[in-house]
Amino acid sequence: MVTIGAGSGGVAASRRAGSYGARVAICEDSRVGGTCVIRGCVPKKLLVYGSHFREEFEDAAGFGWTVAEPHLDWARLIASKNREIDRLNGVYIRMLRDSGVQLVEDRGRIVDPHTVAIGDRTYTARYILVATGARPQMPEIHGVEHTISSNEALELTALPKRVVIIGGGYIGVEFAGIFNAAGVRVTMCIRGDSVLRGFDQDIRSIVSNEMRKKGIDIRCETIVEDIEKRGDALSVMTRSGEMLDADAVMCATGRVPNTRGLGLEEAGVTIDKQGAVVVDAMSQTAVPSIYAVGDCTNRLNLTPVAIAEGRAVAETLFNDNPTVMDHRGVPSAVFSQPPVATVGLSEVEARMEFKEIDVYVTNFRPMKHTLSGRDERVMMKLVVDRESDRVIGCHIVGSDAAEIIQGIAVALRCGATKKQFDTTVGLHPTLAEELVTMRDKRP
């Protein structure tokens, strides 16, 4: 097998195939590790950790600590982050080597259903796996060349004083929290009526409120039409004629499959209007020998999903074990401040799919902030199919939300009912115990 792209999905598939005795080559024209390790989940969360210390210092006073005025050395944080990314890049390279996978550090292009050109050489294989991920989608705005994407935002060696973020999805929300906590004045311009479109409405409402309480200026139904460079600063003009001054403008307007120039269509692979590789449940394309996994297929764009898809392909092709990756019930998180975690259906989705549902919601001030004095709320929500009593959705906003939701995802995977939640003894005092104490249905 020849794998194009050494991100999470490509590496997982290649290593698993190699463990079953397959001869595998993997090509990568950037660093090994892909979006998640190099310019996504990992470096982003390291910056979230770093920026969140601002609130920890502030909260410490309520618990009797005297803390000197803290100062963030942003350049030092970025340098530390970069060292960790370098380490992980080396780990991934070593894992490929130890699995017997040949790494070719150059760009690959499909020549025919069994041939890949990598640099000035060609490689033939029984199977080809495309795992090229996605890239930031830049909006069609006059002056967009003056903006940065999440890629560049992760590499800033100095903090701007004012940032305008275009887009209110998870990437925009996460970076808004990072910059704001680091002392940057943040303005978000979003087309819709709230942040995090596609998430449960209660999540969207509480996250918007909490972000605004932290000082982030969220401007809804605001479309940016022009960005002009003025000396060292930028001038942003909205469709309504409003002018915003900034030292940096970040576009967080989504991501698109990274499939250009790979020779896919010429080889007979079907590409949809968004540029995604069209595959079946087994991750097989219209060409029987070519498979695709991860964000380039635009199915469920999460790192663990890409890994599971890749391993399923290896099981199918090299272990005589046909495997389908189940995309149902996959938990996800937004490392906003406060963080979001969710699994299963939103309330709106549940009402569309089930005849009758029950909804349980709790909104409270966490124990920690009774002493810290911070005005921050936690929201937890369960969505239940009334007929079967099965819990079909869980949504949390608050500290440790992502850690909590992993266990809830297992419960939902096992078909847990609301009665089973109710008869489970809570762990006191924790945030998570609220999930087994909710009794009142929302009208």
- pLDDT 10s digits, 114-131: 999 999 999 999 999 999
341 and 333 Cβ atoms separated by less than 8 Å: yes
Could you give the CA distance from residue 121 to residue 135 in angstroms, rounded to a whole number?
Answer: 26
Residue-wise DSSP of 262-274: S-TTTTT--B-TT
Please tell me what DSSP assigns to residue 442.
P
The predicted model gives 63-88 an average pLDDT of 96
- pLDDT 10s digits, 273-322: 999 999 999 999 999 999 999 999 999 999 999 999 999 999 999 999 99
- pLDDT 10s digits, 315-353: 999 999 999 999 999 999 999 999 999 999 999 999 999
Q: What is the pTM of this model?
A: 0.96
Query: CATH: 3.50.50.60, 3.40.30.10, 3.30.70.360, 3.40.1010.10. Which one for 144-253?
Result: 3.50.50.60
**Residues linked to residue 434 through DSSP beta bridges, in sequence order:** none
**Share of residues in the chain with pLDDT > 70 (%):** 100
Q: Please state, in angstroms and as integers, the Cα–Cα distance from residue 335 to each residue in 79, 202, 204, following that order.
A: 21, 17, 14
Residue-wise DSSP of 311-378: HHHHHHHHSS-------TT--EEE--SS-EEEEE--HHHHHHHSS-EEEEEEEE--THHHHH-----E
Question: Which residue matches tokens 């124990």?
Answer: 367
Q: Please state, in angstroms and as integers, the Cα–Cα distance from residue 128 to each residue in 308, 317, 350, following that order.
A: 17, 11, 39
Please check whether the domain covering 2-135+256-318 is classified as CATH 3.40.390.10.
no
Domain ranges of the chain: 2-135+256-318, 144-253, 338-436
The predicted model gives 372-381 an average pLDDT of 96
| pLDDT at 104 > cutoff 90 | yes
| pLDDT at 75 > cutoff 90 | yes
* Closest-CA residue to 431 (of 369, 385, 388, 353): 369
Could you give the CA distance from residue 17 to residue 137 in angstroms, rounded to a whole number?
Answer: 32
The predicted model gives 258-280 an average pLDDT of 97
Tell me whether domains 2-135+256-318 and 144-253 share a fold: yes
| pLDDT at 154 > cutoff 90 | yes
| pLDDT at 443 > cutoff 90 | no
Structurally, what CATH architecture does the domain formed by 338-436 represent? Answer: 2-Layer Sandwich (3.30)
The confidence score (pLDDT) of residue 303 equals 97
- Residue 26: in which H helix or E strand, if any? strand 25-27
143 and 229 Cβ atoms separated by less than 8 Å: yes
Please give the positions annotated as active site. 428
Could you give the CA distance from residue 427 to residue 404 in angstroms, rounded to a whole number?
Answer: 12
Could you give the CA distance from residue 295 to residue 135 in angstroms, rounded to a whole number?
Answer: 9
pLDDT tier, 11 (very low <50, low <70, confident <90, very high otherwise): very high
- pLDDT 10s digits, 26-45: 999 999 999 999 999 999 99
- pLDDT 10s digits, 155-194: 999 999 999 999 999 999 999 999 999 999 999 999 999 9
Question: Strand order in 243-246's β-sheet?
Answer: 224-230, 233-238, 243-246
Residue type, 423: T
- pLDDT 10s digits, 218-246: 999 999 999 999 999 999 999 999 999 99
- Residue 57: in which H helix or E strand, if any? helix 41-60
**Longest alpha-carbon distance in the chain:** 68
